[in-house]
Structure 1
């Protein structure tokens, strides 16, 4: 495969395809395969007396290596390897799908269809959404959108640009495993430990880049980022996760809506740290502003990453 096309062409085409197509519902997707594999392994593990901590580490290492090897094999095929590289790069990015699904929930709320909105937001997060009122749906949507800007787009794009499609899927494998098993409940505390800690490491730099990128994009959009500059770093460190708070706190302060508070996970109420201005609810206007902010931030980061890649190549020449 032509290395120039792989390094420069693949990320550009992948970002364009993600923006236009998103994630077609009935089209094969590697994340769904990873999810089914993890469900199968989980079912097998809990039927045995195996050490859950060890099982989690073994699963993460084996699945990550398998993902790297499979992608590397396909993109190395003569003549058609470039097409596989584009597919795997595009499939690893989720900004288009994220914005589309969040906009769908916003539209449902605007039309007064709270019941369907609860179901739809439940497909985007791991919370109990059956009894959520409109304010909680809007807050959950804001938190999900801002956090997944990094997890679903900026972090995988970071690894795509830095190391290529195969390493993007190492990150996606760990991230998917963390999203399914990375909970501090009796069931998942030991099994998901490996994925949770590894995801913390892999997302450390991209999460902080996300926060800065949101601020720069907000300033470019003409939004007042003064309060964000003063408060977001302090708020970000309140979160249990070392990474989730950075894009969430930045988005909360830029747009002016509170994140955090009482949230129901697996039937239990959990009080999450407050991010952003206290008491400011997520209105239709704020959510639409956040959607625009996240979309522009993602595309802006993609442009900067690609320009940096081009610049580094020119310098080496």
Structure 2
């Protein structure tokens, strides 16, 4: 394992590499992205072990066993890759580049920016459908804008802060393990008839792994709130007040902080393929008529929060 200061400097390099390079499409059109491999492993377990003729308790036990195997595989693969890369000349640079593949600063920014820049509502609906799970075909401008901003806030935590946090804790093994659990949660960690038991362990472990990163994300977003005309203190107070009303124990923190930063009411009732979801608004005193221009303000806050995270990591590495 890298020492704590070295791991933080490598992490900072990974964040810079991801911000500059991102996920180049020409590469991933030819090669499967690491998350694709993780997704295939999750799908394999779902196909082989999530059997409809099994009892609920047996399916839950199978989900726990499969998650344990998935975690062991992810940690082992991360350790082997990090060990091999560190043996190369300029080893820490290669580790940083490998870690950057599992951090989503640039890709998240680009996907959300496509919604903002879409030439018309139909194109915006298509763009936002790529980053949210809700039904988008009937969304108006306000619904599209809220969906894009909520996705930016939630995925800032899941796709940027949490991967960085777990790399700082456990290097590449910690990062790959986190991405394995997060991928499993996104695929099988929901309350559908098929997955409520088999995906139970993945959903609960993902909640646990995101407890600290989600709250750090809210803190970073709050301190970047002035970039969109918001207030640091008000954003923090709103996150503290409203996060617990969200159906997720974690997503409400960055979303509430972002809502206050932009002066918008986010979350609220929305429609998914499985049916409507009734939920309270975060920052209910904010505007409900979000506009596409508000997406750009949200991206400024997110970019500022990414910069603050990098500064904090550099300062901690220097102090250690």
Which has the higher mean CA deviation after the structures are superposed, 199-208 or 33-42? 33-42
Matches of 1:279 and 1:221 in 2, distance apart?
14
Runs of 4+ in 1 over 6 A off after TM superposition: none
Is contact 1:75-1:82 (8 Å) kept?
Answer: no
Instruction: Say whether 1:259 aligns with 2:242.
Output: no
Shift of the alpha carbon at 1:220? 6.6
Superposition RMSD on alpha carbons, in Å? Answer: 2.2
Is contact 2:189-2:196 (8 Å) kept?
Answer: yes
Matched with 1:88 is 98
216, 225, 234: which one aligns with 1:218:
225
Shift of the alpha carbon at 1:286? 2.0
Instruction: Say whether 1:15 aligns with 2:8.
Output: no
SS at match of 1:164: helix
Is contact 1:158-1:305 (8 Å) kept?
Answer: no
Is contact 1:211-1:246 (8 Å) kept?
Answer: yes
Matches of 1:182 and 1:63 in 2, distance apart?
14
295, 311, 316: which one aligns with 1:308:
316
Matched with 2:49 is 45
Shift of the alpha carbon at 1:64? 1.4
Is contact 1:157-1:302 (8 Å) kept?
Answer: no
Is contact 1:238-1:273 (8 Å) kept?
Answer: yes
Is contact 1:18-1:93 (8 Å) kept?
Answer: yes
- Residue ranges of structure 2 left out of the alignment (5+ in a row): none
Matched with 1:106 is 116
Instruction: Say whether 1:296 aligns with 2:304.
Output: yes
234, 237, 240: which one aligns with 1:230:
237
Shift of the alpha carbon at 1:92? 1.5
Is contact 1:155-1:207 (8 Å) kept?
Answer: yes
Equivalenced residue count is 309
Shift of the alpha carbon at 1:308? 1.0
Structure 1 residues 11 and 115, CA, compared in 2 at 3 Å: closer, same or farther? Answer: same
Residues 169-208 of structure 1: pairs in structure 2 closer than 5 A: 169-208=176-215
Matches of 1:281 and 1:255 in 2, distance apart?
12
Matches of 1:220 and 1:258 in 2, distance apart?
18
Could you tell me the TM-score, scaled by structure 2's length?
0.89
Shift of the alpha carbon at 1:128? 2.0
- Residue ranges of structure 1 left out of the alignment (5+ in a row): 313-317
Instruction: Say whether 1:146 aligns with 2:156.
Output: no
Is contact 1:69-1:166 (8 Å) kept?
Answer: yes
